[in-house]
Structure 1
Amino acid sequence: MSEIRYAIEARAYDIMGLAAHDFWVLRDENGNVLGQLHGLATNSENKIKPIGTFGDKLKFYHFGPRARLFDSNPAYDLNFIRDDQKFKRMFSGNPEVILARWDNAVKALPYLNSLEVPYTPFAILGLANINSNTAYTLLGKLMGIPLHNFSGYWQPGWGNTRKILTASQLASMRYPLDFSDTDFA
């Protein structure tokens, strides 16, 4: 009998063939989606926006069946997964290890949302872009897993996590970087 394996994959939501909204997906041993982690532009009424503008905040979201277990975003069952998206399985392992990494990032969401991080609209040059790709980078670091940069897309904000958390904050919140019980894809 083979060991049950869960996986975390990086995905790129195509934006008009030029840019990408990067995000994370959690899958069970049968490939079913258990959750998605996103950073999205959110207005002052807490409505998610497809494109952020001045005054919007970067909010961190957890969607899917696993989100219901945490009672996070219960009104949202959004799905950003499309069949034609670029994706890369970044990590697989036994369910306990994968879920521990995933849940480490999920548990940080209330704190990250309390920071009221300003969203940089349209990735204006000259500003430290903070957007969905910044959230992708930060959430990957919190899970303690490698990041995947999708070639062929403009991914403004990729990185810039230091504009949200200091190095010491990130270190204290990061899942331990022990990879002995997991596999890289």
Structure 2
Amino acid sequence: MRHHSIEARLLCIAGIAGHAYWVLRDARGNALAELHGLATDRHTGTPIPIGTDARRHALRAWHYPHDADYANAIGAQPDRTSYLRDGQPARTAASGDKHEILARWHAALRAMPELNAQDLDYPNYGFKLLGATINSNSVFRTFGELMGVPVPDFSRRLQPGIGNCMLPRERIAALCYREQAAQDQQRVCTPGGDAIRQDARNHTMPRQIRNV
């Protein structure tokens, strides 16, 4: 029996560093959606390849639903934005029943408004010399802990920020996926606005998602 899965992947940067992100796959292995942390221009709401000005660039969580049926189920528009490339390091973090995997994924989605409301500065070029580095890889870790899946360490690549979360431990514990709660829950909410749509200026109210 084939299962839905959550996959961790690494986009290699300049041969030495990496941007880690999550992929939701269906039972056939098709990519349904991606979750990323990205530097985002505060003025335009547009994600950019790398933050170079902490005053202008903020750290934002982004969700890119690719599959039209899945996008419709969560009240979003399909988005072709993708960081998937052939040959990327990848590891399956969780696989199982469709409803369980979607419940894990949606636990991350529900936390996105809170993550983005912090309006954290994106450290210049992804590093912070003094203090903890909170960057795109920190969003990756935060999502993994919210979904209750192992957060892999991709060896041979620098991953600044991978050991840091965007939220304190007690908040992660309050928001993370719980098996029994997922089984009992008939309907769940996902964030609207710039976190779920490519147009970051479209701030909509949270929508209801059907159990697809």
What range is the shorter-chain TM-score in?
0.7 to 0.9
Percent identity between the two aligned chains: 38
The match for 1:62 is 63
In the alignment, is residue 32 of structure 1 matched against residue 30 of structure 2?
A: yes
CA pair 47-79 structure 1, distance change in 2 beyond 3 A: same
CA pair 75-33 structure 1, distance change in 2 beyond 3 A: closer
> How many angstroms does 1:157 deviate by?
0.6
Q: What is the one-letter code of the residue matched to 2:161?
A: G
The 1-side partners of 2:61 and 2:37 are apart by 4
Pairs within 5 Å for 1:35-54:
35-44=33-42, 45-53=44-52, 54=54
> How many angstroms does 1:134 deviate by?
0.2
Q: Select the residue among 158, 164, 173 that pairs with 1:154.
A: 158
Spell out, residue by residue over 1:128-150, the C-alpha distance to the aligned partner (whole angstroms, 9 max, x if none): 11111000000000001111010
> How many angstroms does 1:151 deviate by?
0.3
The match for 2:168 is 166
The 2-side partners of 1:125 and 1:177 are apart by 39
Regions of 4+ moved over 4 Å: none
> 5+ unaligned residues in a row in structure 1: which ranges?
179-185
> How many angstroms does 1:177 deviate by?
6.8
The 2-side partners of 1:61 and 1:31 are apart by 21
> How many angstroms does 1:118 deviate by?
1.6
Pairs within 5 Å for 1:85-96:
85-96=88-99
> How many angstroms does 1:57 deviate by?
0.8
CA pair 75-67 structure 1, distance change in 2 beyond 3 A: closer
CA pair 77-106 structure 1, distance change in 2 beyond 3 A: same
Figure out how many residues of one structure are paired with residues of the other and give that number. 173
Give me the CA root mean square deviation: 1.7
> How many angstroms does 1:124 deviate by?
3.2
Q: What is the one-letter code of the residue matched to 1:58?
A: L
The match for 1:109 is 112
> 5+ unaligned residues in a row in structure 2: which ranges?
181-212
Spell out, residue by residue over 1:33-65, the C-alpha distance to the aligned partner (whole angstroms, 9 max, x if none): 001000000011211110102221110011123
The 2-side partners of 1:173 and 1:86 are apart by 28
CA pair 67-23 structure 1, distance change in 2 beyond 3 A: farther
The match for 2:17 is 19
Spell out, residue by residue over 1:58-81, the C-alpha distance to the aligned partner (whole angstroms, 9 max, x if none): 100111234553345x48431000
Q: What is the one-letter code of the residue matched to 2:81?
A: L
The 1-side partners of 2:89 and 2:168 are apart by 30
Q: What is the one-letter code of the residue matched to 1:157?
A: G
The match for 2:144 is 140
The 2-side partners of 1:118 and 1:67 are apart by 29
8 Å Cα contact 1:119-1:131 kept in structure 2: yes
8 Å Cα contact 2:71-2:78 kept in structure 1: no
The 2-side partners of 1:75 and 1:58 are apart by 23
